[in-house]
Amino acid sequence: MKKEKFIVSESLIGKYINQYLWSDVNPVGKIVGIKGKTKVIIQPVVASENLTKMEFIPGGFSAHCTNMYEQRYDFFEEGEVFETVLSNFRMKKAYWSIEEAPNKHYDYNF
């Protein structure tokens, strides 16, 4: 069975790439352009410090965060744009996902 090839198209412009690393999520950037059939131009996006005061109780290795899913961040476009190839390999091996908004999550209970 042949795998479907990842297709870069104009519909990706304005969407965000987030990197999923097990239970953590980090923003990579916003797609601001395409170049050819496989390359995208990305404006890096960074997250602010967590705006929510995290609450911890004793437990686990040292503590358990009771409000872990209430994290909030501001996102900023920062840094120089860069170009990268989007492919099935990149999306799977770099754990990248294309989404409508930037996302950040830190697993305090890992």
Q: What is the pLDDT of residues 17-73, one digit of tens each?
A: 999 998 999 999 999 999 988 899 999 999 999 999 999 998 777 788 999 999 999
| Residue 33 CB contacts under 8 Å (≥ 6 apart), including other chains | 13, 40, 41
**45 in Cβ contact with 28 (< 8 Å):** yes
DSSP state of 52: S
Report, as an integer, the average pLDDT of 73-79: 96
Question: How is the chain split into domains, by residue range?
Answer: 10-99
Q: Higher-confidence residue: 1 or 44?
A: 44
